[in-house]
Every structure is written in structure tokens, then in C-alpha cells.
Structure 1
């Protein structure tokens, strides 16, 4: 692998972009990566959505599992993924815009799911409290 600074560099990609890109390049799903790291799927999603950051020990494991350098994961420098070839490189601005929009939508969906779970718990509590024993 080579330095993919044009595609995955600090100026053009986030930590989450690099994690997702490296995971996808290996053909690995989020649940598979979560299992290998011993974390929840929600944790991996948070990393890829740039809403959370891994602890140092998980960061080192992540680097090893994905086969990229720790420096590349953090700032896009060093041993990481190659820039995609062909048309994808030529359409870089459009692709980045779409990926950013997709990341925003995914974060919105995750937040909505958390709100639904909290509301469900409150309803269950209200039903439980309303029972006469």
C-alpha cells in the first residue's frame, strides 16, 4: 500500500473516512470489524461517522486489523490505501459531497433510533408504574 494522501489525506478525508475505506477495501462489514475488536457495532459506526474516537488500545488494534499504519488512520500520512483508480478519482468532489451527505443521514438515523429507544423505555416505565399490584 502507498500513501493515499490525495484521496485519504487530512485535507480531504476524516478519520472515519479512512476507517470505513480501509474496512471496505478488506471486504469487511461493520459487524465483523466490531466483533474482531471486541466492541459494539454502534461504536464502529460512531468512529466511521466521526462522532466518537477509539481509545489508544483499540486504535492500535484497528490499525493492525485493517493493515494500515496508525499515522495513516490519524492523519492520512504513511502506509494506507491507494487512491481509487479511474473514474472515481476524476469525480472526487462529487463523491466527497455524496459521502458527506450520506454520513449526515446515517448520523441522523442513528440519533433517531436512540430517541426511539429512550421513548420506548419511558413508555414501558409509565406502563409499569401505572399497574396496580
Structure 2
């Protein structure tokens, strides 16, 4: 069971597999996508989430990076766990990207207009 104590601080009464699954879900990626990013078979990832096996320490460290948590949190449930604002951050970034794209398009049109004016001047 997960209990949010304050902000993004979680206490964890779950297993390693449960924490892996929770963090992956917060990142909004499938087990196949996570496995691909880590360079393992999907069945391997799923076995970790089901506590049928455990990742080696080097895989655990890489997994923590993919899941945006600390290795300590994956192992113990203590420390920096899943960040609920990941989806919100993504929405903000997408909005900024759309705005920047519109600005770039406007600037490109202005450059083309100026280039045509230069051509007309000879």
C-alpha cells in the first residue's frame, strides 16, 4: 500500500516489484516500453514486477533513471519515489513546444518575405 505523506514523499509497504510497477505507471509507459529502454526482454521486466526475479544492481540503477526514482526508493521505498507531476510537466512542455513552433513558423515566414524583398531590389 502506498501512502503519500507530503508533496512527493511516499512511504512504501510494498515489494520491489510493486515499486517498479508503480513507478512505471507514474511514468505512463508500458512494461514493453520500459523493458526496451532498459535493453531487456519484456518477460524479464514483468518477472521483476511480479517479484519472480530481481534485477542485478547495474540494471536496478539504470531502471531507477528510466523511472525517475532513486535506486534506494526502488529497494526500500524510502527516499524520492514517483513524481505525480511527471504528466503535468509533460503537458507544460508540450504547450511550450507548440508555442515555440508557432513562433518559429512566424519567424520563417518573415524571413521569406524579407528574402523576396531583397530579390526584388536586385
Structure with the larger RCO, 1 or 2 (CA within 8 Å, 6+ apart): 1
**What stretches of structure 2 of length at least 5 have no aligned partner?**
1-6, 85-122
Per-residue CA distance 1:82-132 (angstroms, 9 max, x = gap): 69xxxxxxxxxxxxxxxxxxxxxxxxxxxxxxxxxxxxxxxxxxxxxxxxx
For normalisation by structure 1, the TM-score amounts to 0.56
For normalisation by structure 2, the TM-score amounts to 0.60
Counterpart residue number, 1:63 = 64
**What stretches of structure 1 of length at least 5 have no aligned partner?**
84-133
Runs of 4+ in 1 over 6 A off after TM superposition: none
The alignment's C-alpha RMSD in Å is: 1.6
Counterpart residue number, 2:9 = 3
Distance 2:33 2:40 in 1: 10
What is the aligned residue count?
A: 78
Matched-pair contact (CA < 8 Å) for 2:26–2:83: no
